[in-house]
Structure 1
Amino acid sequence: MQHSRFMNDSIHIARDERRDDKRSLWKHIKSNIPHPKRDYTSFPAVKIGRLGVASAYAGSGIGTYLLTMTKDLFVTDNRTGCRFITVDAYNKPGVIAFYLKNSFAFLWGKDSEERTRIMYFDLLRHRADDAQAAIRPVLDHPPPLG
C-alpha cells in the first residue's frame, strides 16, 4: 500500500547564495536561528528518498498521513538532530501540488525545468496540533482495504 525510505542530508547555503537564488530560505533561517549560529553554511536535514502510495489509494489522504508521521518522527526527541526534511520531488503538477499542500517549499528556482525539484520543510513549523488536524480525515474515514 505504501513505501518510504529516509537518508541523511543537509542544506548548503554558500555566502553568495544568501543574496541569490536561496535568498528566501536564508531570510527564513536568519529569522529563526540565534545570531551566533547564523554564519553556518550547512544545516542538517533528513531526505525522503522514496515515498509512494499505491495508485488505488491516491487521493485518500494516506500520503499526507505518511508525511505527518514523518514530521512527527523527526520532531519527537529530534532523533537525528535535523532541522529540515528535504525531498527531490518529481517535477509533475500533481506531485508538486502534493508537497506544497503539505507545507514544503522550493529550495531554489534553478531546477524549475529539471526532472526533479528540491523541496524542503522546516521542522520548527511542525506542531502536534497541526499534525492531528492533518491526519484526522484519514482516521475518521480510512480507505477500504483490498
Structure 2
Amino acid sequence: MDFIKSWFIDSQNKTGCRYIIVDSYNDPIPLEYYKKNGFDLMFSTENQEKEYTHSKAEKLSTRLMYFDLIRFRV
C-alpha cells in the first residue's frame, strides 16, 4: 500500500492525483486493513452511504473509503 501511495506523490508522476478511492468489502478484515493504512470512510454511517448511492440493500456489501495523499506527503 505504501508503494502505491509513494508512486502517486513521486515528483516524476504527472497524474495530478490527490485522493486514492477504494470500494472495500463491508467486512471487518478488509475495513480494518484500509483503516490501518490511513483510509477513512467517505460516509460516517451506512445509512448515509445508502442514501447517497440510492441503495435499496439491507446491508451494503461494500463501503467507500479514501486516502488523502497530502497526508502521506507530510
Q: Which category describes the TM-score, using the shorter chain as reference length?
A: 0.7 to 0.9
Q: Which string of whole-angstrom CA distances, capped at 9 and with x for unpartnered residues, describes residues 44-88 of structure 1?
A: xxxxxxxxxxxxxxxxxxxxxxx1000001010243101100000
Tell me which residue corresponds to 1:111.
49
Tell me which residue corresponds to 1:6.
none
Higher strand share: 1
In terms of Rg, which structure is larger? 1
Matched, 1:122 2:68: yes
For these two proteins, the number of residue pairs brought into alignment is 62
Root mean square deviation of aligned Cα: 1.8
Q: Which runs of 5+ in 2 are unaligned?
A: 51-58
Tell me which residue corresponds to 1:92.
27
Query: Partners of 1:79 and 1:89 in 2: how far apart?
Result: 26
Identity %: 42
Tell me which residue corresponds to 2:10.
76
1:111 counterpart letter in structure 2: E
Query: Partners of 1:111 and 1:103 in 2: how far apart?
Result: 20
What TM-score, normalized to structure 1? 0.39
Q: Which string of whole-angstrom CA distances, capped at 9 and with x for unpartnered residues, describes residues 7-41 of structure 1?
A: xxxxxxxxxxxxxxxxxxxxxxxxxxxxxxxxxxx
* Structure ranking higher on relative contact order (CA contacts 8 Å, 6+ apart): 2
1:89 counterpart letter in structure 2: S
Structure 1 residue 91: Cα displacement: 0.4
What TM-score, normalized to structure 2? 0.75
